[in-house]
Structure 1
Amino acid sequence: MTDLFSKFDPIIEQRRALLETGVTDPFSLVMEEVKSPTVAVCNGRETILLGTYNYMGMTFDDDVIAAGKQAFDEFGAGTTGSRVLNGTFRDHRAVEEALKEFYGMEHAMVFSTGYQANLGIISTMAGKGDYIILDIDSHASIWDGCAMGNAEVVPFKHNDVEALEKRLKRLPADAGKLVVLEGVYSMLGDIAPLKEMIAVSKAAGAMVLVDEAHSMGFIGEHGRGVAEAQGVLDQVDFVIGTFSKSVGTVGGFCVSNHPKFEVLRLVCRPYVFTAALPPSVMASSVTSIRKLMHGSNKRAHLWENSRRLHGGLRALGFQLGTEEPQSAIIAVIMPDLEKGAMMWEALLENGLYVNLARPPATPAGMTLLRCSLCAEHSAEQVEDILARFERAGKAVGII
């Protein structure tokens, strides 16, 4: 009889070999206590958090927590229903209104996760006979949205405008086309040339979806993302985002100006056939989103942190994923998985948590230590982080 687990044997063996070197399992870290957006207790040691995507530090905001507690008392622990049945509460609508105001768009749908937002919108919008044209480095949720639908999938080289244009020109002129891009790509922290990509997409008659998960709240004058920063937000048909990054809660969303958008509430399976988020999460989310509308000081400080950490790591001799800081993500490239795991553990022992990212999630087979900065990191903490990287890097032999 065929063992259905046999296809995972290479991953099982890779993990076994890694753990046999004596390193801590980097994919099963437990936070025993979280003290703030930037500090937690891990393995009994107070640890600076540099791998949580908590970009704007909203998880411990007093107003955000108070709103969630009040909704918990008023509406209970959960919804026990889909949004199209009994699962729409007061604060679900309030979040959608806040998102419409935040982005200046006519329509907004809230999903239970950011993953489901991509899964639902992409699989629903592009069907049989249509084409999805996407960056080869797209997030797993985008690829899974393609797999769930029936459209033809056409990938192109990462951030290559000419490659996108060539793919589009080969497609039937009268076919439905959806170009899927990301504002910030989460592995290397690099941004997309959205202005040029949207221009060639529109010239080919394609609709455009931009995932701004890693830029919402931070990039752009009002924190609306890379599309806003590049002056093309009004040309984007769908913006996808998540609450688990800058908003500091959990959930996902899509905003749009398309006049027929509301029909998606009836035909989008990952929206129709899943339970709605708890009202406490929604109350926290709407409070956070409205505060992010006025977060310019936080955004400025986060940019300062990003520039200082990027420049400091380069000066120490680390190889980084981008030449200049482009976002709140800074990727430190490791020689291989074993060295990457050793460096990850050395940093943890030095009281610093980052993400160890490995293939196939990473581009070009790279092993990365991925750092995500927070607006609540103080300038002193950033200097402390650099000192810990230096100690760990020298101990492991990376620098």
Structure 2
Amino acid sequence: MSEGIMQADKPDTVVGGETDLFSKFDDLIAMRQGLLDGGITDPFSLVMEKVLSPTRAICNGRDTILLGTYNYMGMTFDPDVVDAGKQALADFGTGTTGSRVLNGTYQGHKECEDALKEFYGMDHAMVFSTGYQANLGIISTLAGKGDYIVLDIDSHASIWDGCKLGDAEIVPFKHNDIEAMEKRLKRIPEGAGKLVILEGVYSMLGDVAPLKEMVRIAKENGAMVLVDEAHSMGFIGDNGRGVVEDAGVEDDVDFIIGTFSKSVGTVGGFCVSNHPKFEIMRLVCRPYVFTASLPPSVVATAEASIRKLMHGSEKRAHLWENSKRLHAGLKALGFQLGTDTPQSAIVAVIMPDLTQGATMWEALLHEGLYVNLARPPATPANMTLLRCSLCAEHSEEEVETILGMFERAGKMVGII
């Protein structure tokens, strides 16, 4: 599953009368140690010593191009966004020290929610402390015991965890398979509560869901629909509202979940909705009620960024050009990619296996390029991927430089 559950199902062992709760991870420990013993830098412990811009950082003492962040629209160093955070830090301090339902709602939280309502053209917006919590909270609160959740098998870990927390019946279907989704919906008992959960862009391969058909089928079968737009907000759709907008189903979707840690360039999560009863979620959603709210500086940067994204058409167009250029270039070099055509800002390069994937990752790092190494079980079909996440701030010249790095590393490792 996409960014799915990372722990193994191996049972714990008993050593000297004491249960070793870590034994279930022995295979993962051995895999990691095997990579390190082979002389490969730990790909999951990279430290960025200094961040220079949305596209460059100092890693291991070297100026490195960043192609493995979710900073799609390059908002992390936008001067207006940074200034908004500085002002809020000076005016309101470092944190709220409280929940949103107690002392944790500042003016900035309401203004951020107002910006989200304006951005999406929705009546309600609810900000969470992380994107993970947004899925965890909304899903577990909406669908409980006796309800049914129909979801794509490649759904993000936060979606699966939200399903588990709510104790609903979970009915997965094959990735992006419209017919399979419909069959499962039709098997649900008459009168049961039904929630269909989809993602606009799936984060591992960067492929897009056929939302137009799926939303129509969900509604025909009496289900509510939630779409996670974490990896599409900001640049897909004429106004950057995501695949929901691009597919023309904004009025048919009940809930849109998103995050501030991608295109918005900070941290936090949200849900927007037009449902007339939505505001009750503030009192019944445990991951919202029982956690501290975001610091004032964070919601200030989020609001400033969201309002700038409303006018980001030029940046969106440039990001699409970057995606097309990188996808075409890697394909021409002979790399196997996750999608036949560019569908998002994610370009996934499929590796033969984990060892060669880690070797290729390290070779790229030595070239001065950082990408994500993604491995099973977080990836679909047990694939090892080098996941490239483009940014609107990458120049045309940087993309050409990246292609040269991939060519040299790929030939050295023997993948092309």
TM surpasses 0.5 = yes
Question: 1:343: which partner in 2?
Answer: 360
Structure 1 residues not aligned, in runs of 5+: none
Give the aligned partner of residue 146 of structure 2.
129
Deviations 1:184-232 (A, max 9, x none): 0000000000000001100100000000000000100000000100101
- Alpha-carbon deviation of 1:173? 2.2
Give the C-alpha shift of residue 18 in structure 1. Answer: 1.2
The SS at the match of 1:34 is strand
Cα deviation code 1:357-378 (max 9, x no counterpart): 0001000000000000000000
CA distance, structure 2, for counterparts of residue 188 and residue 52 of structure 1 = 15
User: Is 2:286 aligned against 1:269?
Assistant: yes
Identity %: 79
Q: Secondary structure at the match of 1:235?
A: coil
Shift of the alpha carbon at 1:266? 0.3
Equivalence for 2:404: 387
How is 1:163-242 mapped onto 2 (pairs within 5 angstroms)? 163-242=180-259
What does 1:1-399 correspond to in 2, within 5 Å?
Answer: 1-399=18-416
2:391 aligned counterpart, secondary structure: coil
Q: Please report the RMSD computed on the Cα atoms of aligned residues, expressed in angstroms.
A: 0.4
Partners of 1:328 and 1:373 within 8 A in 2: yes
Paired amino acid for 1:389: F
Tell me by how many angstroms 1:150 deviates.
Answer: 1.5
Q: Which AA in structure 2 matches 1:245? A: K
Shift of 1:338: 0.3
SS of 1:51's partner is coil
SS in 1 for 2:53: coil
**Structure 1: distance between partners of 2:265 and 2:274:** 26
1:383 CA displacement? 0.2
CA distance in 1, matches of 2:74, 2:376: 29
TM-score relative to the length of structure 1: 1.00
Cα distance between partner residues in 2 of 1:147 and 1:348: 38
Q: Where has structure 1 moved over 2 Å in runs of 4 or more?
A: none
After superposition, give the CA deviation of every residue in 1:97-154 in whole Å (9 maximum; x if it has no partner).
Answer: 0000000000000000000000000000001110000000000000000111111000
- How far 1:161 moved relative to its partner? 0.3
Secondary structure of the corresponding residue to residue 46 of structure 1: strand
- Contact 1:67 1:284 survives alignment (8 Å): yes
SS in 1 for 2:238: coil
Deviation at 1:331, TM superposition (A): 0.2
Distance in 2 of aligned mates of 1:333 and 1:5: 31
Q: Which amino acid aligns with 1:111?
A: F
1: distance between equivalents of 2:113 and 2:34? Answer: 47
State the secondary structure of the residue aligned to 2:271.
strand
1:29-77 residue CA offsets vs partner (Å, 9 max, x unmatched): 0000000000000000000000001000000000000000000000000
Q: Distance in 2 between matches of 1:286 and 1:182?
A: 23
Shift of the alpha carbon at 1:172? 1.1
| Matched position secondary structure for 1:35 | strand
Task: State the distance in 2 between where 1:150 and 1:229 align.
Answer: 33
Residue type at the aligned position of 2:299: M
Return the alpha-carbon distance in structure 1 between the equivalents of residues 33 and 85 of structure 2. Answer: 42
Letter matched to residue 188 of structure 1: L
Amino acid at match of 1:370: R
- SS across alignment from 2:349: strand
Q: Distance in 1 between matches of 2:75 and 2:100?
A: 26
Q: Map Cα deviations across residues 275-294 of structure 1 (whole Å, 9 max, x no partner).
A: 00000001011000000000
1-structure distance, mates of 2:111, 2:280: 20
Aligned partner letter, 2:39: G
Could you tell me which amino acid in structure 2 is paired with residue 20 of structure 1? Answer: D
Corresponding position of 2:7: none
Structure 2 unmatched runs, 5+? 1-17
Q: Aligned partners of 2:117 and 2:229: how far apart in 1? A: 15
Shift of 1:234: 1.0
Letter in 2 for 1:238: F
C-alpha contact (below 8 Å) 1:173/1:204 kept by paired residues = no
- Residue 2 of structure 1, CA deviation: 1.2
CA distance in 2, matches of 1:261, 1:24: 48
Alignment partners' CA distance in 1, 2:401 and 2:250: 37
Question: Aligned partners of 2:58 and 2:250: how far apart in 1?
Answer: 40
Q: Residues of 1 paired with 2:111 and 2:360: CA distance? A: 44
Give secondary structure in 1 for the equivalent of 2:19: coil
SS at match of 1:8: helix
* 1:345 Cα deviation from its structure 2 partner: 0.2
Secondary structure at 2:245's aligned position in 1?
Answer: helix
Determine the C-alpha separation between the residues in 2 that align with 1:86 and 1:136.
39
